[in-house]
Every structure is written in C-alpha cells, then in structure tokens.
Amino acid sequence: MTHIAWADVTHFSSSPQFNVPEIGSGIGLIDRQNEKMIGEKVYREVQHQLPIAHNTWLEDQLLSVFSNILSQTQLGQPIGLVLVNDAQINAFAVPGGLFALNTGMITSARNLDEIAGVMAHEIAHVTQRHYSRSQEAFKGQSLLALAGIIVGALVASQADGNAGAAVMMGSQAALMDQQLTYSRNQEREADRIGMQYMYAAGYNPQSMADYFEVMHRTTSQVSFLPDFWLTHPLTTERMSEARLRANQLPQVKSGMRDENFEILKWYTLVVTNQATELQLQTLAKQGSFAGELALAAFYNQQGDYVLAQTQLNQLKKQKKLHNLLTLIQTDVYLGQNKLDDAYQTIESPARVMPENRALAYKLAEVLIRQKQPAQVNNLVQNFVNQNPRDITGWHLLQQSANIDVASQLRAVNVLRYRAEVEYWSGLEEGAIKSLLHAQRLAKDNVAMSVQLKQRIDQMQQERQLKI
C-alpha cells in the first residue's frame, strides 16, 4: 500500500522499455489463494471502518478506466475498486487485487489521464506482487498483520490524533517501519511498469508526471497523516525523472477539456457534499453541461425536486443524451413518488444497455417500489454472480425478497441476502447469525439447507483470518 509513494527514479534507459518482469514462483511467495482471502478480508474491514461512497454510477465510471488498464496485465479478476469518501489525495492497493481511491483523487485531478496514472502505478504494485516478494518481511501469517495495519492506518487518517497514536504503538510501529514501505527498486518498477500500462491503455503518460505537481502542491494538506504515508516526499528530481520517462514515449493527446471528466468531477463534488449551490449556479450560468447536471444532482440530493426538475428541463433542451441525466431524472420522480414516470424514464435505457450496472440498479429500485420482485431478481442476479462482493446488488435482492409475499422462502431469502450485505460490509458475526437463522427456517428444504450450510462454513473459515 502506498500514499502514491512513488520513489526517486534515478535510472532508466534512453528508449521506451515494454518489458514487464516475469513473476515466477519461489520461496517466500505467498499463495495466490491466500492473497485473495487477505484482499477480501481487508475489503470487508475497509467497508466496515471507512466512509465508502456507494454510488453505482461513480463506481462504474472509475471501474471503466481501471478495467482499461487491467486489460494490459495478466492479473485475473481483481477483488474490486473501492471509493473512499475522503477529500485527501490518496490511493492504495492490497494483495489479491483490492484497489481503493479517495474521492479527493478525482476532485483534485485535471483530467482522467491523471487518475489513470495513479491507478496504473497501484496496479503495477499488485501485478509485480511487491508485498509477497518481500520474503524477509513476510513469514507465515504476518501479511495479515500488515493488512491490519493498513486498515488501522486508514482509520487513523480519518480521525484525530488519538486513534493514530493507538495504531502506531509498540510492535506495530516497528513492523510498519520495516515492512510497509516498498523498496526503491519496487517503486521504480511500479513507476516504469505503471507508465507502460497506462500508455498501452491509451492514456497520456505525461499525466503521471503532471499529477506529481498536483500532489506536490497538496502535500501540506496531508501532513496530519502517519509518517509512512509520506515515505518518499515529492521532490523536483522525482517530478523531472517522471517527465523524462514520459517524454520517451510517443505523444498521446490528453483530454484536458473532456466534458465527461468535468461531469465526473463535479458530480463527485456534489455527492461528497463539497460543492456549494453558488459554485454550481455560477458554472451552470456559464453554459457548462457538467455544471448544470451537477446542479440538478445537488437539488435532488437536497430533496428539492421542483428546482431539480426545472434544472433538468433546461438540460433537456440541449438534446444531449447522458446516463447520469437519466439517473437523476428517475431519482427526482422517485422522490415525488411518481412511479410510472420513473419507470418510463429508466426502462428503455436500462434494456438497451443491459450491461450498464448503474441503469440496471436504478430500474431495480423502481421495480421494487412497483412490487415486481421477479423482474428485480432477473436484473440484479447476473451482476452479483459476476461480483459476489457487490453490496448494493445484495441489498437490492434483500429488498426484492422482502416484497415477494407469494414465496414460501420469503423469510429465508431476506435473511440470506441480508447476510451477504452484512458480511461484505464487515459485519461477519451478524452475517453468520442471519444465515443460521435462515438455516433453521429452511430445515424442511433440503436443497436450500445444503446451500446455506456451505455458505456458513465458507464464512466461518474466512472469518478465522485474524486481523
């Protein structure tokens, strides 16, 4: 895990290199299955202890960039991308393929390529298995201790000094000192390979160097964080080395005036309560589509559906189709309990783009209000099958099961879906209790009983991983 701890890069060749080292097996390599379990354990802890932004449209936008970069690697399906609702600039990666970005990464970036550069650097740490290759540092189960420190440090960064002091005490501080920083060679490798990944995915490698400058200016804002976040202070040498490496690669045009990025940025500012009405009104008056859309989202979030609708009506005159406009309009109708209007707004776009999770889940919300459980299940189940850690999906299935009054297994289904929400939200004990309760209710249904027992056993086994 790094606070984008990109180390001083002092050596590189004069021409672009596109060789990614082969990571073979050997002594000290942690089994990939263990890495996955550790990554999932940290995922649950992070969900439990940090302010996670559960917003399907935002998640999907960032996942799209993330997937573009991942497609350049040999990494299997990652555990996921988590969005932490925190204005500080930060990102981290955990073995097994868990990646997290603070919302501050989006709001402080100037284009999508800058965010891509950060993601690529973190992805490179994971593809090169930098944790697991530190043989001296990790023996036996000590990677779990490291995972605990990751979570502890993240929590400490959210609190005032006392929590941080508790994390840093005693042996943990010593362990952190020895193990939590990547070596210079590993940082150099992540820099070099990360830049290759982002370039191969079509992003501008100059943006990695550009973002150094952004971070350099904001370092003062993160001075309260524990020292190890700032292991490699930003220097002019580091910035110039990154620039030189980027200059070796063919030029890629950067989307400096990319309207989609402006929408992403201003919408993030709204949902994280960092944008003021006056700011958004000023932007909207300048004819900014992103500003107008963000203002509609702002009014909808405030529950002022009349003003939100007025703003949406203005937007529609521009005849621009945008999924976020569809989602906000659906929300405005839901807020006013205009279920038919909400359905008419979302149904067609969601059917035309069945792979679009944000649209599918918004349609599911409408169908839940319309008491249509079977349709909800058809929509949501595919997404949850693809990603069993999808808390929003499980929550929709729980709500759907609750309105399915005709089902003999109604109570059992509500409990088992609730258990998944609890489990992936870090409430492991509560999840197991919910499943045990479901098991008692399903005792006469052999197939369901077997399914529940398997899931209980799995949860209990994974819970044994102590952090």
216 has binding-site annotation: no
Which of 72, 4, 1 has its CA nearest to residue 239? 4
Q: Is the dihedral of CA 166, 168, 170, 176 positive or negative?
A: positive
3 has binding-site annotation: no
Q: Hey, how many other C-beta atoms are within 10 angstroms of the C-beta on 419?
A: 27
Active site residue 191: yes
Q: Hey, how many other C-beta atoms are within 10 angstroms of the C-beta on 460?
A: 12
Catalytic residue, from 35, 59, 189, 191: name it.
Answer: 191
Q: Is the dihedral of CA 439, 440, 441, 447 positive or negative?
A: positive
Catalytic residue, from 45, 114, 122, 292: name it.
Answer: 122
Active site residue 340: no
11 has binding-site annotation: no
Residues making up the annotated binding site for Zn(2+) are 121, 125, 187
Query: Could you list the active site residues?
Result: 122, 191
